[in-house]
Amino acid sequence: MSEYWPFINTAITALIAVVVVPLMKHVSTIKNNHLAHIEKRLELIERKLDEHITFHLRGQ
């Protein structure tokens, strides 16, 4: 069995290089896109809240 370890090690390394690394990059891209969308929504909410507060402060 020990004579197969170099081949097993190479196969595991190749699997990581071909499957795991691209998958991690894909997940990272999705996460960054999702965070950018959340950031845009928060900026919109902040702007609307500022407009609302300004409107009510002018009314007093």
Six token digits for residue 46:
């902040």
pTM > 0.75: yes or no: no
Low-confidence stretches of the chain (pLDDT < 50) are: none
The torsion defined by the Cα of 21, 23, 26 and 32, in degrees rounded to 10, comes to: -80
pLDDT of residue 34: 96
At 28 the pLDDT is 95
d(Cα 33, Cα 56) in Å, to the nearest integer? 35
pLDDT in the model for residue 60: 63
pLDDT for residue 59: 78
